[in-house]
């Protein structure tokens, strides 16, 4: 019988690439990870790993086992959800991740709804950029996460996660003055300075893609991730920026918002197989209800 915990390590080796990275992810020593993977190889009865210089690669059998490991882990999540559903009343800790603009908008109402309906839940919140959500779910640092992508930059499917749609947000080009009429505000801003999110964030990537689709590279003057700060910089004449609906609810005087033909799409993500867990289902219901007031035609 294969050890599920060792399967988990093999899955992470396929994802992270090195034993050192797997060890760091699990707070193990590299030698402990190597010992567990060697034991898994004995259990499997076929070679799962092969040396390639200093690196360790998965064999074809190892890669096949990783594909099964995803199904096994999802089945365990589903079994845990089934067991949780027989209890009367929800209790325990639920760790909720959310991107920064969802924290002051969607989460307060959702937390009130969850706390009122399920007072036995201990709710904990942390901010997460969407690029960090899959790893946070896999590492069980969060149980659910409000995440997002853009229709112009859809997120690649992750075999370890599932999600449900929460909200489609409008996206605006924020400028320090009312621009002339233009069917393509981004193209019209080709000579402007730009304010982008930090490199590596989804917002940074989407702004670059929007400018490149308009035929140019943006002249980046400032980096800022908080949209309150972004809009303050725009109001001060420091540049233009892409701002989603939840980040543009109260723009300062002097900022013009031109709606763009793109949408930011919010989802609630969770580990594959855990969607029927009562706590996850309660979070979906609460966040969807909180998003109702932000849905606009």
The CATH number corresponding to 89-297 among 3.40.50.620, 3.30.470.20, 3.40.190.290, 3.40.50.11030 equals 3.40.190.290
Two tokens, residue 153:
């930059």
The 10s digit of each residue's pLDDT in 41-90 is: 888 888 888 887 777 888 888 888 888 888 888 888 888 887 776 666 78
pLDDT at 6 > cutoff 70: yes
Inter-residue contact 171 to 264 (CB < 8 Å): yes
pLDDT, mean of residues 269-278:
92
Task: List, as one string, the DSSP characters of 46-75.
Answer: S--EEEETTEEEE-HHHHHHHHHHHHHHHH
- Least confident piece of the model among 5-19, 137-151, 222-236, 259-273: 5-19
Q: Tell me, what's the pLDDT at 172?
A: 96
Enumerate the domain spans of the chain: 4-84, 89-297
CATH number for the region 4-84 comes to 1.10.10.10
Give every CB contact of residue 112 below 8 A, 6+ residues apart in sequence: none
Q: What are phi and psi of 78, to 5 degrees?
A: -65, -40
The 10s digit of each residue's pLDDT in 229-245 is: 999 999 999 999 999 99
Inter-residue contact 138 to 22 (CB < 8 Å): no
Angle between helices 19-26 and 4-16 in degrees, nearest 10: 120
Inter-residue contact 176 to 237 (CB < 8 Å): yes
């Amino acid at each position: 019988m294969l050890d599920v915990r060792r399967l988990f390590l093999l899955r992470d080796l396929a994802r992270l690439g090195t034993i050192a990275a797997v060890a760091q992810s699990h707070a193990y020593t590299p030698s402990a990870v190597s010992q567990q993977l060697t034991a898994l190889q004995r259990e499997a009865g076929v070679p799962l790993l092969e040396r390639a210089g200093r690196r360790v690669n998965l064999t074809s059998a190892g890669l096949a086992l990783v594909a099964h490991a995803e199904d096994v882990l999802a089945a365990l999540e589903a079994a845990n959800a089934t067991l949780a559903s027989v209890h009367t009343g929800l209790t325990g800790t639920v760790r909720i991740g959310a991107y920064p603009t969802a924290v002051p908008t969607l989460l307060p109402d959702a937390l009130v709804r969850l706390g009122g309906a399920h007072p036995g839940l201990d709710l904990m919140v942390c901010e997460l950029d969407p690029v960090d959500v899959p790893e946070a779910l896999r590492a069980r640092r969060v149980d659910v996460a409000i995440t997002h992508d853009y229709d112009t930059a859809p997120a690649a499917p992750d075999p370890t996660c599932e999600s449900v749609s929460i909200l489609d947000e409008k996206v605006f080009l924020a400028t320090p003055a009312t621009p002339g009429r233009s069917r393509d505000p981004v193209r019209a801003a080709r000579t402007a300075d730009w304010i982008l999110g930090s490199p590596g964030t989804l917002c940074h990537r989407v702004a670059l893609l929007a400018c490149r689709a308009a035929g140019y590279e943006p002249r980046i003057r400032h980096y800022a991730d908080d949209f309150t700060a972004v809009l303050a910089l725009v109001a001060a004449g420091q540049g233009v920026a892409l701002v989603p609906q939840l980040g543009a609810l109260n723009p300062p005087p002097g900022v013009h918002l031109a709606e763009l033909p793109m949408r930011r799409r919010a989802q609630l993500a969770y580990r594959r197989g855990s969607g029927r867990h009562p706590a996850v289902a309660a979070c979906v219901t609460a966040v969807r209800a909180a998003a109702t007031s932000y849905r606009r035609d």
